[in-house]
């Protein structure tokens, strides 16, 4: 597993147009695996949110945290537009990135 620390903001879902979860991490591969394997108690485990549908790389961890806050405070419509513009098929990006 890649241990390189890169700031990421990401959006997970359980299905197309389903429940969305926005987060930030310095190790996207590890974080995705934690969610997919229900190793993190909370919202994503409760609602079976395992599908990585959007991510962006931040210039710094602080910048990624600010971007996460910006996305979270935005409307659902804005989140859907982010996903649709980068991933119109709502594919799980994990396999594309790490397999």
pLDDT tens per residue, range 26-35: 999 999 999 9
Q: What is the pTM of this model?
A: 0.93
| Position 93 pLDDT exceeds 70 | yes
CATH number of 70's domain: 3.40.1440.10
Residue 54 Ramachandran class (φ > 0 left, ψ -120 to 50 alpha, else beta): beta
Confidence of residue 99 (pLDDT cuts 50, 70, 90): confident
Per-residue pLDDT of 46-88, as tens digits, reads: 999 999 999 999 999 999 999 999 999 999 999 999 999 999 9
Would the pLDDT of 1 be above 50? no
Q: What is the DSSP string of 39-90?
A: -S-SHHHHTT--EEEEEEE-SSHHHHHHHHHHHHHS-HHHHHHHHHHH-TT-
**Residue-number span of the structural domain to which 36 is assigned:** 8-98
| Domain-located, residue 74 | yes
């Amino acid at each position: 597993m890649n241990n390189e620390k890169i700031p990421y903001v990401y959006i997970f879902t359980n299905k197309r147009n389903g429940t969305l979860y926005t987060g930030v991490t310095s190790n996207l591969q590890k974080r995705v695996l934690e969610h997919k394997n229900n190793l993190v108690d909370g919202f994503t485990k409760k609602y079976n949110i395992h599908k990585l549908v959007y991510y962006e790389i931040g210039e710094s961890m602080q910048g990624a945290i600010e971007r996460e806050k910006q996305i979270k405070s935005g409307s659902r419509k804005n989140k859907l537009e982010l996903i649709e513009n980068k991933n119109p098929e709502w594919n799980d990006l994990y396999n594309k990135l790490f397999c």
